[in-house]
Amino acid sequence: MASTAEICEHLLQSPPQSQHAIAYNYLVPNVKGLESLIKVMDATGSTAETPGSATKPPTTTEISLFAAATEAFSKANTNCTIAESLERIRPIVALAKTKNIRVRGYVSVALGCPYEGPDVPPSRVADITATLLEMGADEVSVADTTGMGTAPRTLELLQALKAAGIANTDLALHFHDTYGQALVNTIVGLEHGIRIFDSSVGGLGGCPYSKGATGNVSTEDLIHTLHGLGMHTGINLEEMSKIGSWISSELGRFNESRAGKAILARIQEQ
């Protein structure tokens, strides 16, 4: 996290070339982190919604905040209780709103905790989600951080969120593929009406507190599944697969995308 401000400043001053708008999402652990981001935005003449120009694409700057669905994970990750973490988040959201910065909340370990096991009460996840939205979060991503989620428990969680009065349009789902269930759970979410899903190119990511946890469902696999269901994403899957291969090579790690590797193998044969 120490170099976040430096990276932020570089991106805002020299954004990559793009024909489309770019959204920058910054993880903010505390008020100090947000103040640092605002300082960089002010220094670079950036706003939360910066219009594009002939040489720069339009950009959106937003922040992410995390709360955990179990006390054990909250203690391990942020050294505080769930209630304390929510109180820490409240002033961050309030400050962000004064700057018109979009806020994205996350509820970690919503479908399984490395310390407390898979049976996380859906009602607790719903309560935390509702609290984040009441604070002013624009969207909450409900995260299966450990990849323990199954289709029946994903559906149970979605039903609990609905019963709590939380609209699908305020939600995103975030699945890790540790047990190979991320795409199965994604389809459950789609059938329930969710339309925003987190993913990572090449399946990057993981969780340092959960042994064996893999990264998010790969973007390439997710897009391949959505296209197979007849959905339009506007994403060129072949180009995305090339990016997944490139970044995996740059980081010296295994490319976790099955669809991406299959697509690249087919291209090489042509």
Please give the positions annotated as active site.
207
> What is the CA angle 129-36-200, rounded to 5?
50
How far apart CA 31 and CA 248 sit, in angstroms, is 33
Sign of CA dihedral 208, 210, 215, 216: negative
- Candidates 52, 61, 77; CA nearest to 4 is 61
Instruction: Report yes or no: 24 and 61 within 8 Å, Cβ to Cβ.
Output: yes
CA 27 – CA 89 distance, rounded (Å): 12
Q: Contact, 141 vs 199, CB < 8 A? A: no
Which residues, 6+ apart, have CB-to-CB distance to 61 below 8 Å? 12, 23, 24, 26, 37, 41, 46, 47, 48, 50, 101, 102
Beta-strand ranges (E) seen in 18-101 are 22-27, 49-50, 59-68
Q: How far apart are CA 137 and CA 18, in angstroms?
A: 28
Q: Which residue has the tokens 């959201």?
A: 93
